[in-house]
């Protein structure tokens, strides 16, 4: 039985019979993983869909990001400038790659890394900038590119939230050296678990794909301390089927966003706007509860919960609050005023195509009725 609870998202799913037909073929083929037929087909299709020149498929976004941080040959223990306003996988990946994250504050409109505050954090040990396109809002890719050229830094983007987004008509994965995408079930387009890397430099392909397969170069040669980042055939099948339907979901979410936008024009509630040159992925619907609103963000969450609606404080806590990082990093909270402000005010509302009219009306009523 399905619960009546309403959560922040719901995964898209193909027609069950379409999926089981595909499963039958996988059973007949006897190949379940290790760069099978469906894996290769999906990898190629995603390169086109994301409008990028190279694309490598992974079993999740985290292994993809760890691979990105390893193949760029950043000096061991060098510093990567990033923001704590992200999912822990971003920061974990830096540390697990033997590098040190340096936290930069965010920009209040996009909630992405504040490019104007990056230069102050650069020192002799800085080797890279890792920007997160939070909720699909784009980092200031132009400014970051300028800084990276000036200081000879690599640029990696965590694009987990921005599947199919375009900046100035170009796939968002064309910016920086490497962009990671996640295809986890909570993401707009998913392969149950999955992820990938987009990159411009053709020379990276062999290295990335070798790293993805334990670093095994050939029968007799293991060249890198790689990992197991291979996507299996059943996930690839889910991806191929979801590629056919994700745009319908995006369209439904666009209409839901328009509904929320119209009905949440309320004093004290700020709805962050996508910059004009960027297309929305429709991954999340975040709002900012400012001081002029009569209730705190946490009180709203309680009110919604009493009606079985589970909005999320995403990202609260931020990564500058977690013990696993506090133990090993020097974190200067005074450098992070916007992160520490936004994390207490942000609220992500339920955002998926199947959200019922009743539910969306109820959510807006709860927010209006104060």
Ligand X SMILES: *Cc1c(COP(=O)(O)O)cnc(C)c1O
Nearer to ligand X, 84 or 171 (CB): 84
Whole-number minimum distance, CB 314 to ligand X, in Å? 9
Whole-number minimum distance, CB 160 to ligand X, in Å? 3
Q: Where are the alpha helices (DSSP H) in the chain?
A: 16-29, 37-49, 61-71, 88-96, 141-151, 204-212, 233-243, 246-263, 297-305, 323-326, 337-342, 357-368
Whole-number minimum distance, CB 95 to ligand X, in Å? 14
Specify which residues 198 forms β-bridges with: 55, 179
Nearer to ligand X, 60 or 164 (CB): 60
Residue 136: alpha-carbon gap to chain centroid: 8
Nearer to ligand X, 230 or 360 (CB): 230
Under 8 Å CB-to-CB from 163, ≥6 apart: which residues? 50, 181, 183, 187, 188, 189, 246, 281, 283
Nearer to ligand X, 167 or 319 (CB): 319
- List residues near ligand X by CB under 6 A: 60-62, 86-87, 89-90, 132, 158, 160-161, 182, 184, 195
d(CA 309, CA 363): 8
Whole-number minimum distance, CB 283 to ligand X, in Å? 8
Nearer to ligand X, 205 or 312 (CB): 312
Whole-number minimum distance, CB 316 to ligand X, in Å? 14
Nearer to ligand X, 127 or 281 (CB): 281
Instruction: State the greatest distance between any 2 C-alpha atoms of the chain, in Å, as a whole number.
Output: 69
Nearer to ligand X, 192 or 329 (CB): 192
CB 204 within 8 A of CB 54: yes
CB 227 within 8 A of CB 93: no
Nearer to ligand X, 144 or 367 (CB): 144
Under 8 Å CB-to-CB from 139, ≥6 apart: which residues? 110, 112, 113, 115, 131, 132, 133, 157
d(CA 291, CA 308): 25
- Closest among 290, 296, 318 to 105, alpha carbons compared: 318
Whole-number minimum distance, CB 227 to ligand X, in Å? 13
Whole-number minimum distance, CB 136 to ligand X, in Å? 10
Nearer to ligand X, 62 or 235 (CB): 62
Burial zone of 320 (CB within 10 Å; 0-12 exposed, 13-18 middle, 19+ buried):
buried
Whole-number minimum distance, CB 181 to ligand X, in Å? 8
Specify which residues 130 forms β-bridges with: 156
Residue of minimal Cβ distance to ligand X: 61
Whole-number minimum distance, CB 185 to ligand X, in Å? 9
End-to-end CA distance of the chain: 34
């Amino acid at each position: 039985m399905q619960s009546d609870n309403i959560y922040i998202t719901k995964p898209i799913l193909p027609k069950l019979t379409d999926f089981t037909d595909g499963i039958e073929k996988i059973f007949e083929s006897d190949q379940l993983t290790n760069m099978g037929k469906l894996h290769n087909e999906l990898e190629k299709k995603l390169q086109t869909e994301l409008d990028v020149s190279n694309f490598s498929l992974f079993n999740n976004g985290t292994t993809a990001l760890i691979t990105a941080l390893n193949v760029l040959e950043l000096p061991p223990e060098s510093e990567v400038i990033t923001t704590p306003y992200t999912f822990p996988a971003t920061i974990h990946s830096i540390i697990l790659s033997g590098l040190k994250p340096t936290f930069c504050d965010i920009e209040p409109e996009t909630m992405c890394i504040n490019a104007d505050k990056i230069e102050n954090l650069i020192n002799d040990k800085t080797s890279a900038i890792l920007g997160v396109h939070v909720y699909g809002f784009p980092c200031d890719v132009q400014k970051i590119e300028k800084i990276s050229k000036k200081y000879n830094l690599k640029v990696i983007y965590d694009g987990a939230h921005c599947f199919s987004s375009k900046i100035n008509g170009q796939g968002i994965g064309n910016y920086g050296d490497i962009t990671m995408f996640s295809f986890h079930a909570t993401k707009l387009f998913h392969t149950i678990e999955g992820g990938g890397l987009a990159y411009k430099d053709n020379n990276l392909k062999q290295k990335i794909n070798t790293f993805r397969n334990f670093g095994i170069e050939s029968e007799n040669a293991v060249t890198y301390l790689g990992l197991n980042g291979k996507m299996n055939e059943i996930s690839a099948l889910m991806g191929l089927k979801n590629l056919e339907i994700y745009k319908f979901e995006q369209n439904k979410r666009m209409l839901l966003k328009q509904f929320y936008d119209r009905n949440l024009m309320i004093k004290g509630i700020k709805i962050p706007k996508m910059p004009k040159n960027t297309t929305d992925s429709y991954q999340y619907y975040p709002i900012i509860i400012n001081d002029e609103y009569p209730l705190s963000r946490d009180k709203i969450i309680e009110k919604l919960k009493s009606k079985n609606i589970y909005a999320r404080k995403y990202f609260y806590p931020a990564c500058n609050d977690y013990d696993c990082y506090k133990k090993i990093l020097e974190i200067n909270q005074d450098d992070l005023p916007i992160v520490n402000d936004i994390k207490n005010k942000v609220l992500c509302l339920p955002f998926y195509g199947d959200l019922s009219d009743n539910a969306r009306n109820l959510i807006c009523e709860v927010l209006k009725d104060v």
